[in-house]
Structure formats: C-alpha cells, structure tokens
Structure 1
Amino acid sequence: MNPSKTALLVMDIQNGIVGNFAENPEVLIPIQDSVKAAREAEIPVIFVRVAFKEGYPEVNLNNKMFSAIKESGSMTETDWSTQIHESVAPLSGEPLVTKRRVSAFAGSDLEVLLSGLGTEELVLTGIATSGVVLSTLREAADKDFRLKVLSDACIDRDPEVHRVLVEKVFPRQADVLTASEWADSLK
C-alpha cells in the first residue's frame, strides 16, 4: 500500500450524531486511534459531516429522513449539532466536507478533493454503519476506489445490523479489519 494514495474518511462524527452514543463514549476510541494512526503515517484525514444551508433548500419533502430534520429546525451548517466532535477535531489544513445526503459523495465536493489528492484507496470510519458507511462504500466501490472498513471504528445503533454488514456485506467490496490492525499495517 502506498500511504500517499490513501485517505481516511471520518464520517458523521459530529456533535448531534455522537450525542446518540453519549452513554458509551468509549465507542469513539477506535475512531480516535485511526485518526492518530493516519496522521502519524501522513495519510490525509478527511472529515465528512451532514449539514444543510439555512432554510433547507436542499431538502425535498419526499425524502422521509431529511424532511424530518427540516421540520426539527436543526442540522444547518452553523448549528452545534453539525460541528465535528471535539474528540476527533480536525487539525489545521485537514479538509471538512459537507454532504447533503447519506453518502459522503452526495452533494459534496469529496470526489474532486480525492482526485486532487490522487487518492486510490479509502479507509472508512463513521456513524452509522448502516447509513453513511454503507452508502459511501457502495458509491466508492462503483467509482473504483480500493476500500478498507475499520469494523470497530464504525458504529451503529443496531449491533446485529452492524455485524451483518461488516461480516457479510462489506467484505464483498472492501477489506474489513480493526483500527488496530490497520494502524499496525502502517508501521
């Protein structure tokens, strides 16, 4: 693996989403460890969040999930809920990509950024395994990226859905390993 052709995606690790796991903050440790390992190996770390412009012009009422967010009046670009959680805060110069749907590619400039970096391989982390990780993995595979998923650096509210995805679905399109296995492979 050529680290310069790899990027770590840290997806939806933002205040409003991490808050759903407040009773279990140790679930963030593998994500923190993967960010640290990437930085030490000089692999670009790209932060991805979901957020909307004031007034939610991107939200169609036919979209069940996002129309509910529009009605709640939260998740705008400036809201506290859409800011990256302090436990993995971006360093100066680390990109923050704002997406408008579930996949990290949807409504964002991620693909252009990855092209500019010469990225060929993506390492995926995020909340939720059944949301952003699944959607991004599928789209990235269709875009011919090599893929790795850090199984313990992905979180889902439903442990069984997480297990099925990382054990049965993701291996069809990605290498699945733990954050520590990935960190060890960089040394």
Structure 2
Amino acid sequence: MSGAKQIVAKPMIVGQPALIVVDIQKGGFAPRPASSRLEFMPDAVERYTRARTVVDAARTAGIPVIFVQEAHRRTMVDFGRELDGSESVHCLEGQPNTDFAVEELGMVEDDYRITKRRYSVFFGTDMEILLKGLGVQTVIMVGGFTDVCVHYSFVDGHQMDYYCRVVEDCVSGSSYRAHDAALEAMEYLQAGARRSAQDVVDAFAAIRRQA
C-alpha cells in the first residue's frame, strides 16, 4: 500500500473572492527599454490584454477588483536590495510607464488602488486591511512578473491563510523558464491554484447568476 499523500484540490473559489491585478502598468504595454537586463516574455502584452476580460467579468459579478502599482521614489531611496540582481531601475514616480494602465484595463475612479515599494502586494501596504474589510477569503491574481511580484504575493497570501489562485494565461514572467517554474511553485503550495482566464470568467459568471 502506498504511503503517498492524496492531494485533493479545494474549490477554485471559497467564500468571498477578490481579483488582484499585480503591476499591470503603462509600461507593460510599451516597447521594452534597451537598458532592461531582463529577457521578458514576447507575448506579455497579449497576456495583460487578456487580463481585461477577467477584470470585466469580476466587475459584472460584483467582485472586488484591487489594482496594485509598483512605484519608487525618484531618489531611489526605497529600492533597497532590489537592484542587486537582474533588475535595472524601473517604475520611478512621475514616469509615464509607472502609471496605472487606466484605459487598457478599464479602470474607474472608485477602484481600489494600492501602491507598493517592494515585490509583494502585502509588504508595507494596507492590502491586508482592505481584504479583511471586504471579507475576502480567496484572492485571484493576474499581472506580472509571474516569478517575482505575483509569486511573492501568492506566497504571502498563502502564509496569511488566503485561498490563492493565479490565472496562468494572464500573468507574464521575466522569461518562459522562470514563468513556468513559478507556476509550479505556486501549485505546490495550493493544489488547483493554476487556473485559466476562461475558468475564472466562468466562475465569476456563476456567482453573478446566483446573486
């Protein structure tokens, strides 16, 4: 008899969900700067554009959508160790590419918006306060990078006991290899974490029908 643990995935959505849009900013739809040290995935714009369908489905179903923006002071005082590795200077306040992708994602004035200085959407922000106020149990993430901000946000959410899901065709990584490895790592933490945009859109539509 095998002693291997049988893994049973939880439902995709448990309790109240929220959609977290991680760092889909103006720069995500612009040509990559020549100074960038990262490889990037060539279909990133396609993936971020697809995220709009998930945002729209969440709105239609009355599900909270939280937009997160990475932004650093122009003095670079808050980068910390972030530039010690592969990343070059990015997301400086006042630069057009740092702005929220308002038109691309159909953002409206009353949207929840959070600005962060580090990778995780939870680190040094009021994300936890907002999620608790909304009564959220399941967080569903789209955005980038899969292997950096999305991954670390997922891990923090997991350690705070949220049910965490990642929409794998609406996230983009620093490379395909890093993207795939991060998705595997997230699935390791929570079985059934990896979902498609269509899965999520269908689930949101079901919530709307039940309302």
Smaller-chain TM-score range? 0.7 to 0.9
Report whether the alignment pairs 1:84 with 2:95.
Answer: no
Q: Give the secondary-structure state (helix, strand or coil) at the position aligned to 1:64.
A: coil
Equivalent residue for 2:147, pick from 130, 134, 154: 130
Structure 1's unaligned 5+ residue stretches are none
RMSD: 2.5
* Structure 1 residues 22 and 137, CA gap change in structure 2 (3 angstroms): closer
Q: How high is the TM-score relative to the length of structure 1?
A: 0.85
- Asked if structure 2 preserves the Cα contact closer than 8 Å seen for 1:9 and 1:46, the reply is yes
User: Equivalent residue of 1:120, what SS?
Assistant: strand
| Deviation at residue 68 of structure 1 after TM alignment | 4.5
- Give the CA deviation at 1:92: 1.9
Q: Which deviations, in whole Å up to 9, do the C-alpha atoms of 1:114-161 show, x marking residues without a partner?
A: 121111110011111001110101111011111111110111131122
Cα deviation, residue 27, structure 1: 2.4
Deviates more, 1:95-104 or 1:112-121: 112-121
Tell whether the 8 Å contact from 2:26 to 2:96 is kept in structure 1 after alignment. Answer: yes
Q: Which runs of 4+ in 1 moved over 6 A?
A: none
Aligned to 1:155: 172
Match in the other structure for 1:12? 23
Deviates more, 1:85-94 or 1:132-141: 85-94
Match in the other structure for 1:180: 198
The aligned amino acid for 2:187 is P
| 8 Å contact kept, 1:147–1:173 | no
Aligned to 1:36: 56
* Higher deviation after alignment, 168-177 or 41-50: 168-177
Whether the aligned pair in 2 keeps the contact of 1:48 and 1:96 (CA below 8 Å) is yes
Cα distance, 1:75 vs. partner?
Answer: 2.6
Equivalent of residue 104 in structure 1, options 121, 128, 144: 121
Give the whole-Å Cα distance in 2 for the aligned partners of 1:100 and 1:141.
20
In structure 1, C-alpha distance between the alignment counterparts of 2:51 and 2:119, rounded to whole Å: 19
Q: C-alpha displacement at 1:53, in angstroms?
A: 3.1
TM-score for the superposition, normalised by structure 2:
0.76
Q: Greater shift after overlay, 59-68 or 112-121?
A: 59-68
- Of the three residues 133, 144, 148, the one matched with 2:161 is 144
User: 1 CA distance for matches of 2:141 and 2:87?
Assistant: 27
State how far apart, in whole Å, the 2-side matches of 1:22 and 1:156 are. 6
SS in structure 2 opposite 1:16?
helix
Corresponding residue for residue 51 of structure 1: 71
Q: Which has the higher helix share?
A: 1
- Which shifted more, 50-59 or 16-25? 16-25
> Hey, what's the Cα distance between the residues in 2 that align with 1:152 and 1:47?
18
Q: Which has the larger radius of gyration?
A: 2
Shift of 1:176: 1.1
Letter in 1 for 2:155: R
Q: 1:2 to 1:147 in 2, by over 3 A?
A: closer
Q: How many residues align?
A: 181
Unmatched segments (≥5 aa) in structure 2: 1-12, 33-39, 207-211
The verdict on how the C-alpha distance between 1:92 and 1:83 changes in structure 2, with shifts beyond 3 A counting, is same
Distance 1:171 1:76, change over 3 A: same
- Identity in percent: 26
Residues 66 and 79 (structure 1 numbering): CA distance in 2 closer, same or farther, change over 3 Å?
farther
